[in-house]
Structure 1
Amino acid sequence: MTEVLLPIAIGLVYVLLSSLIPEPHRRKFNALMVAGAGAAYLSGGELGVWELVFCAVMTLAAFRGLDSWTFIGIGWLLHTAWDVVHHLKGAPILPFAADSSFGCALTDPVIALWAFAGGRSPWAWLRRKTPAAVDG
């Protein structure tokens, strides 16, 4: 159960921390994160030249993500698919953690859903849901 809940929690923490960055810097920061995710498997090279092709596709998604939350979401879903391929091949993102690609495949869609929703900060929503302190 932990191998499922922890990656989802990591995705939620990423969203909460990333939301502290004001716009438009938040979107640009997340586009850079997509670009970095695209290069995450390069050092392993398990899929040969396809690792380079994937990196190029992710770079394009990141570039388009500079102006579009939709492309940031697309980038995270692409990375999810790449995580699944690496997990099935037995080539994890962290060589010392066998299920790390599986975990990443659960974290990435959480971030993607947030991006598809426009990368809005949940802090304002959380503040509205918290009852105001009563002076007494």
Structure 2
Amino acid sequence: MPYVMPVVIGIVYALLMSLIREPHRRRFNALMVGGAGAAYLSGGALGGWEFAFTAVATYAAYRGLESWTWIGVAWLLHTVWDIVHHLKGQPIIPFLHDSSFGCAICDPVIALWCLRGGLPPRAWLRGPVAARQPAA
């Protein structure tokens, strides 16, 4: 179950975000990953590195305002930070020991969705090329 639920959460996230129309969907997701990039700041487990990571994540999120690829990159960066925090024993949710581990599984699911252009479910079945062509 600790492996399945994070995947389900990532899929549900993509489904819910797909309800937002473009270009607002991309911009909203850039804001979401920007917030995720600062999630570990209050714990301070890695000292000054927390600020350095937040700066890098914020840059990627900013670039994500105009690019799904950068949003995907930002989620993958957050995945790496989740793994570091899990190994250090400083989870994202202090009272849930494996929360960073779960986040490290969930985030790549979201990243894959973003790297595919943040397409709505209907477009998943048609593929990325069909989804980007205007309807006749």
Q: What is the TM-score when the length of structure 2 is the normalising length? A: 0.90
Aligned to 1:95: 94
Q: Which residue number corresponds to residue 15 of structure 2?
A: 16
After superposition, give the CA deviation of every residue in 1:40-74 in whole Å (9 maximum; x if it has no partner). Answer: 00000000000000000011001000000000000
CA offset digits 1:5-34 (Å, max 9, x no partner): 000000000000000000000000000011
Partner SS state of residue 96, structure 2: coil
Instruction: Map Cα deviations across residues 78-104 of structure 1 (whole Å, 9 max, x no partner).
Output: 000000000000000000100000000
In structure 2, the partner of 1:73 is 72
Match of 1:107 in 2: 106
Amino acid at match of 1:66: L
Q: Secondary structure at the match of 1:41?
A: coil
2-structure distance, mates of 1:65, 1:72: 5
Query: Hey, what does 1:5 align to over in structure 2?
Result: 4
Instruction: Give the Cα–Cα distance (whole angstroms) in 1 for the partners of residues 56 and 10 of structure 2.
Output: 22
Indicate conservation of the 8 Å contact 1:16/1:123, yes or no. Answer: no
- Taking the aligned partners of 2:108 and 2:123, their CA distance within structure 1 comes to 22
Q: CA RMSD in A?
A: 1.2
Shift of 1:111: 0.4
TM-score, normalised to structure 1, is 0.90
Q: Which structure has the bigger radius of gyration?
A: 1
Aligned-partner Cα distance in 1 for 2:71–2:87: 25
How much has 1:124 moved relative to structure 2? 4.7
Q: Which position in structure 2 is the counterpart of 1:28?
A: 27
The 3-state SS of whatever aligns with 1:3 is: coil
Letter in 2 for 1:51: E
Q: Are 1:86 and 1:101, in contact at CA under 8 Å, matched by a contact in 2?
A: yes
Count, aligned residues: 126
Are the aligned partners of 1:69 and 1:119 in contact in 2 as well (CA < 8 Å)? Answer: yes
Unaligned runs of 5+ in 1: 127-136
Offset of residue 123 of structure 1: 3.5
Percent identity among equivalent residues? 69
Structure 1 CA distance for aligned equivalents of residues 63 and 123 of structure 2: 27
Q: Mind listing any 5+ residue stretches in structure 2 that lack a counterpart? A: 126-136
